Amino acid sequence: LTLTRPSKDGSKAKSEVGTVKLFNPSLNQTAKERVKAAAGYNIYQPRMEYGKNIYLGDQGKGTLTIENNINQGAGGLYFEGDFVVKPSDNNVTWQGAGISVGEESTVEWQVHNPEGDRLS
């Protein structure tokens, strides 16, 4: 993901690149850690380590460019501010738990969901 925001004085846009752990259905739904804890082996969910929520708060205005197909799994996008969310090209898709738009915020969503996605 690339987030581009105008500078405070409006003279130059600033870009920040972020990496998102994508949902990986090939990971086990549950597993045991190799290290034994006091109460036995720690049970965890490897699939749930991926596809976390992303919070874009107090950002003012910005453009979020999605550069690759994203399956965020159970993760969602949370926006506080005014954003345009667009793909780097028309074939890029986003799939996830959904988006949340804060009070007095706007999001112009230009990204497609994958074909057959229940939210599309």
Return the closest-CA partner of residue 91 out of 112, 70, 109: 112
Per-residue pLDDT of 98-116, as tens digits, reads 899 999 999 999 999 988 8
Q: What is the mean pLDDT of residues 21-34?
A: 65
- Is residue 43 within 8 A of residue 58, CB to CB? The reply is no
Q: CA dist 3 to 15, 87, 91, 108, Å? A: 6, 12, 19, 14
- Looking at residue 33, its pLDDT comes to 55
- Looking at residue 54, its pLDDT comes to 86
- Is residue 62 within 8 A of residue 4, CB to CB? The reply is yes
By 3-state DSSP, what share of the chain in percent is helix, strand and coil, each rounded to 5?
Answer: 5, 45, 50
* Percent of the chain scoring above 90 in pLDDT: 27
Per-residue pLDDT of 60-101, as tens digits, reads 888 899 988 888 888 889 999 999 999 999 999 999 888 999
Which of residues 39 and 96 earns the better pLDDT score? 96
- What's the token pair of residue 32? 């045991």
Q: Predicted confidence band at 8 (pLDDT cuts at 50, 70, 90)? A: low
